[in-house]
Amino acid sequence: MIVEKDAARSSCLHGCLADQGYRILTADSCLAAHTLTESEPGRGVDVLLADAGMALLMGSNLARWIRRAGGRLKAVLVSEGESSQRPFPFRFLAMPFEAASLRAELEEALTPLPAAA
C-alpha cells in the first residue's frame, strides 16, 4: 500500500511498482489508508510504503496500528533526510532515491526471516 499525499509522487511510485508486478493499493492520507484496510480486510497489506512526515497520523503510527490489528505488515517509510535521523523502528528510504533502491528495499522487506531453531 502506498500512502502518499502528493498525487504526482504517488502516481510515480505506483507506476514504478506496477511495472514490477506488485498489486498496489493507494491512499492519499493515513486516515484513508486506515479506512481502506478496515473496509477491505481480505485484500491484505504486506508492505506499507508511506511518507514518514504525513500530517494527521504519521506513517509509523499507521504501521503500528495495522500490526496491532493482526496484519503482518512490513513498512518502508520515505522522507527527506538522512536515515540516521529516523525515529522509527521500520525500514527507511531517504529521498531522492532510484527506482532500483525502492525495489530492493521492498524485496528485502518482503523476504521472510528464517525460522528460529
Q: Report the CATH number that the domain containing residue 60 is assigned in CATH.
A: 3.40.50.2300
For residue 116, being part of any structural domain is answered with no
Q: Strand 91-95 relative to strand 74-80: parallel, antiparallel, unpaired?
A: parallel
For residue 117, being part of any structural domain is answered with no
Average pLDDT per consecutive 10 residues, the chain (117 residues; last block may be shorter) = 88 87 86 78 74 61 67 74 56 82 85 62
For residue 115, being part of any structural domain is answered with no
Partnered with residue 77 across adjacent β-strands are 50, 92
For residue 100, being part of any structural domain is answered with yes
Q: Domain total for the chain?
A: 1
Write down the pTM of the prediction.
0.76
pLDDT on residue 56 = 41
Return the ∠ at Cα 39 (arms to 74 and 59), rounded to 5°: 35
Q: Which domain holds residue 26?
A: 2-110
Supply 64's cell numbers: 503500528
Span between the terminal Cα atoms of the chain, in Å: 32
Give 20's DSSP letter: T
- Answer for the pair 48, 59: CB distance below 8 angstroms, yes or no: yes
